[in-house]
């Protein structure tokens, strides 16, 4: 922490030298984006250089609003001030959750993060004039051209006893002097509330909004007051999602979503959740698309919901399928209709493809395709758009889970437990479909080999591993023996490296080898 700490607030970013940041002043001829998506979705933006108030109970999104408001200013080249009750580490953690990078703006001193001191209210109550409350802040900002100010919340200015009304007047005057666009939060609901201390703020504000939430994690933004015309004042429903922040939930009864702008249709978001997609494929796509390559799911999610893209490409392996499916579910819960394509270097198992389709995926492509074919396929997918009319909400059949020793690390099942589990699948599933690997080491200890196999198979998606006699048995859900050649190679490579020698692997497919499998498991023959 550098710089002078003013008596009213403590700072977590010091001012830069004069002239170190330039800013293009916002014009008063039209609206500018607030960065708060439900608000911009409903109103198209806000008037610049005016204060705005957002009220709401805890957990409704007031602090999220401030971070999104600040991010919009930073992206527009403005210097932004955020004044909050929260510890700086908590603010940074919240921003990271939302997919907002504030660390870099803090280092570059484009974002000034201030925290109310614990004795702020006492100092306010002792202040002789309103001007004295803001003298230190004026000196602190004198080397900056501030564009936006967010204050979360204004309660400290209201708790100063007799000085409160004067403090609110002073705050409005201070913000006017800075010629900034400002966002102020208030805890609670101001509907029907008359507080003379708030009167100057309510009179000066260009907009007053209220946030609420329900038990289903849905949030709502209501427009209580604006000083410009809007096509609609209806409430907007949204969710707060990891990596994306506030995501508007469009009305499912309003028909199809608005057509994606042409420039967005020519953008692809590619997330490398596995080894990077080969350069020749990416370069081939760039002959027709603008390709934004990401390695983090959260940043990709943010790009998709904020800017819009023609398609979201998830380059995955089997061991990251769960993360990919959760991303797709989160997108579809917001009625986002971007086509989602899973790209893999091998054929996904039937169970993974089925679950991906249920989650809302649109297609599956192989990274072994020629660049021209991959480009042609994606052009067709983008033109077609998201093809699911309805995403199923029915729960998936429960999986039998691999046991753990401490709630985190998997352990091999006993022979009895494994055979009982697989028999359970046979009894409840009308169309069971799996492969059993019977694995025998050339040398070495059988439990160690079982743990090695556990680290390779796809346990999170339904595979099971146990020890049956002198062999390790792996139940590979929804897999044909012919699709498991690469898995066999990996197992043999790992076994050689770890000292188990040239392991023997026998593959039994079900239902192809039904009689042998049932006899091995002690399961009754099918009726």
3-state SS string for 98-167: HCCCCHHHHHCCCEEEEEECCCHHHHHHHCCCHHHHHHHHHHHCCCCCEEEEEEECCHHHHCCHHHHHHH
Share of the chain above pLDDT 70, in %: 81
Which pLDDT belongs to residue 429? 58
Which pLDDT belongs to residue 496? 95
**Tens of pLDDT, residues 71-83:** 999 999 999 999 9
**Angstrom distance (rounded) from CA 267 to CA 230:** 30
Which pLDDT belongs to residue 123? 67
Please provide the distance, in angstroms rounded to a whole number, between the alpha carbons at the two ends of the chain.
75
* Among the listed residues 138, 112, 124, 205, the one whose alpha carbon sits nearest the alpha carbon of residue 166: 124
Task: Give yes or no for residue 21 having a pLDDT over 60.
Answer: no
Query: Regarding predicted confidence, which is higher, 462 or 407?
Result: 462
What is the value of pTM for the model shown? 0.55
Q: Which of 11-20, 283-292, 491-500 has the lowest mean pLDDT?
A: 11-20
Angle between helices 164-178 and 130-140 (to 10 degrees): 30
Phi/psi of residue 261, nearest 5 degrees: -55, 150
Going from the C-alpha of 21 to that of each of 108, 109, 123, 409, the distances in angstroms are: 10, 9, 32, 51
Q: Let me know: does 461 contact 351? Beta carbons within 8 Å.
A: yes
**Tens of pLDDT, residues 45-66:** 999 999 999 999 988 999 999 9
| Residue 453, token pair as written in the block | 């196999």
Phi/psi of residue 283, nearest 5 degrees: -65, -35
Q: Which of 141-150, 395-404, 436-445 has the highest mean pLDDT?
A: 436-445
| Residue 339, token pair as written in the block | 């086509």
| Residue 455, token pair as written in the block | 């680290």
* Among the listed residues 489, 439, 492, 495, the one whose alpha carbon sits nearest the alpha carbon of residue 467: 439
Mean pLDDT calculated for residue range 220-225: 92
**Angstrom distance (rounded) from CA 395 to CA 402:** 20
Residue with tokens 């004067």: 166
**Angstrom distance (rounded) from CA 26 to CA 47:** 9
Confidence of residue 332 (pLDDT cuts 50, 70, 90): confident
**Tens of pLDDT, residues 25-52:** 333 348 899 999 899 988 989 999 999 9
**Tens of pLDDT, residues 155-174:** 888 775 555 667 788 888 88
Mean pLDDT calculated for residue range 136-144: 79
């Amino acid at each position: 922490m550098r710089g002078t700490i003013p008596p009213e607030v403590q700072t977590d970013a010091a001012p830069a030298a004069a002239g170190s940041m330039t800013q293009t002043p916002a014009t008063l001829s039209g609206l500018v984006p607030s960065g708060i998506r439900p608000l911009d979705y409903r109103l198209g933006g806000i008037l610049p250089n005016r204060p705005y108030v957002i009220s709401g109970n805890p957990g409704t999104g007031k602090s999220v609003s401030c971070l999104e408001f600040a991010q919009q200013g930073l992206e527009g080249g403005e210097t932004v001030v955020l004044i909050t009750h929260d510890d700086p580490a908590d603010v940074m953690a919240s921003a990271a959750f939302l997919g907002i990078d504030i660390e870099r703006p803090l280092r570059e001193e484009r974002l000034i993060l201030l925290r109310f001191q614990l004795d702020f209210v006492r100092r306010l109550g002792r202040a002789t004039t309103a001007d004295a409350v803001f003298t230190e802040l004026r000196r602190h900002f004198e080397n900056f051209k501030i564009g936006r100010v967010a204050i979360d919340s204004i309660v400290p200015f209201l708790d100063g006893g007799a000085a409160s009304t004067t403090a609110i007047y002073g705050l409005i005057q201070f913000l006017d002097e800075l010629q900034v666009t400002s966002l102020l939060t208030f805890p609670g609901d101001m509907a029907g509330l008359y507080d003379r201390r708030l009167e100057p703020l309510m009179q000066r504000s260009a907009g007053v909004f209220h946030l609420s939430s329900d038990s289903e994690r849905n949030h709502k933004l209501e427009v209580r007051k604006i000083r410009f015309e809007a096509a609609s004042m209806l409430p907007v429903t949204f969710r707060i999602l990891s990596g994306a922040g506030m995501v508007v939930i469009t009305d499912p009864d309003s028909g199809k979503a608005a057509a994606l702008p042409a420039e967005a249709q020519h953008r692809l978001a590619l997330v490398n959740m596995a080894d990077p997609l080969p350069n020749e494929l990416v370069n081939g796509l760039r002959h027709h698309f603008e390709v934004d390559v990401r390695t983090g799911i959260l940043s990709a999610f943010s790009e998709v919901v904020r800017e819009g893209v023609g398609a979201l490409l998830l380059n995955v392996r089997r061991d990251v399928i769960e993360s990919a499916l959760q991303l797709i579910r989160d997108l579809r819960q917001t009625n986002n209709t971007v086509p989602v394509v899973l790209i893999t270097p091998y054929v996904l198992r039937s169970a993974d493809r089925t679950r991906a389709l249920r989650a809302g995926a649109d297609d599956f492509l192989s990274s072994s395709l020629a660049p021209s074919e991959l480009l042609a396929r994606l052009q067709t997918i983008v033109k077609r758009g998201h093809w699911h009319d309805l995403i199923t909400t029915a729960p998936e059949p429960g999986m039998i889970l691999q046991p753990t020793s401490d709630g985190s690390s998997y352990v091999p099942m006993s022979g009895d437990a494994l055979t009982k589990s697989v028999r359970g699948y046979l009894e409840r599933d009308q169309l069971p479909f799996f492969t059993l690997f019977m694995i025998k080491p050339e040398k070495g200890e059988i439990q160690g080999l079982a743990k090695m196999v556990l680290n390779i198979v796809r346990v999170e998606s339904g595979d099971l591993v146990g020890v049956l006699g002198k062999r390790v048995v792996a139940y590979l859900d929804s897999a044909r023996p012919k699709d498991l050649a690469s898995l066999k190679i990996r197992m043999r490579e790992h076994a050689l490296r770890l000292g188990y020698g040239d392991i023997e692997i026998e593959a039994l497919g079900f239902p192809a080898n039904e009689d042998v499998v049932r006899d091995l498991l002690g399961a009754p023959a099918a009726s």
